[in-house]
């Protein structure tokens, strides 16, 4: 598994840089967006294999972005993982059809979960 395209969406540049570097070391192609509006444009244009989406952002939040992704034919089947500081490590898991992971989770565990989802082709399978 290499070369899959991951779209990282977070309004904190240091988070984008940290996770982006870690994913690139694993062989992923990484796209980044600092807000919901830009992420929707990128997702539709680039059709990433997976989207890692912050929940709490200025302007359009992650929930709004995910809803629009699910209502757009080009992006409806792209797996979405919510990565948020608002989630406690012991409260991670699948909520509805989305995977929630705490930002404090060790990066190796987050990457392992991303690889698992890409292997399975869906978040909750």
Residue 125 lies in a domain: no
Which helix (H) or strand (E) segment holds residue 43: the answer is helix 36-46
Residue 64 lies in a domain: yes
Residue 65 lies in a domain: yes
Residue 86 lies in a domain: yes
Q: Percent of the chain at pLDDT above 70?
A: 85
Residue 72 per-residue DSSP state: S
- What span, in angstroms and rounded, lies between the C-alpha atoms of 70 and 80? 10
Residue 114 lies in a domain: yes
Residue 83 lies in a domain: yes
The number of distinct structural domains making up the chain is: 1
Residue 91 lies in a domain: yes
Q: Percent of the chain at pLDDT above 90?
A: 64
Write the CATH number for 60. Answer: 3.40.50.2300
Cβ-based neighbours of 34, under 8 Å, separated by 6 or more: 9, 10, 11, 13, 16
The more confidently predicted of residues 101 and 93 is 101
- What span, in angstroms and rounded, lies between the C-alpha atoms of 125 and 12? 30
- What span, in angstroms and rounded, lies between the C-alpha atoms of 36 and 69? 11
Note down the domain range covering 24.
5-120
SS3 90: helix
Per-residue pLDDT band for 125 (boundaries 50, 70, 90) equals very low
Residue range 42-96, pLDDT digits in tens? 999 999 999 999 988 888 988 899 999 999 999 999 999 998 776 554 444 544 5
pTM of the model: 0.87
């Amino acid at each position: 598994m290499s070369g899959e395209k991951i779209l990282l969406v977070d309004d904190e540049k240091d988070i984008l840089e940290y996770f982006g570097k870690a994913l690139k070391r694993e062989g992923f192609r990484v796209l980044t967006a600092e807000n919901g509006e830009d992420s929707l444009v990128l997702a539709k244009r680039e059709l990433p294999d997976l989207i890692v989406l912050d929940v709490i952002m200025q302007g359009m939040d992650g929930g709004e972005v995910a809803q629009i992704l699910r209502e757009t034919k080009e992006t409806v089947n792209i797996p979405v993982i919510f990565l948020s500081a608002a989630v406690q490590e012991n409260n991670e898991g699948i909520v509805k059809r989305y995977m929630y992971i705490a930002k404090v989770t060790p990066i190796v565990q987050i990457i392992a979960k991303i690889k698992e989802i890409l292997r399975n082709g869906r978040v909750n399978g």
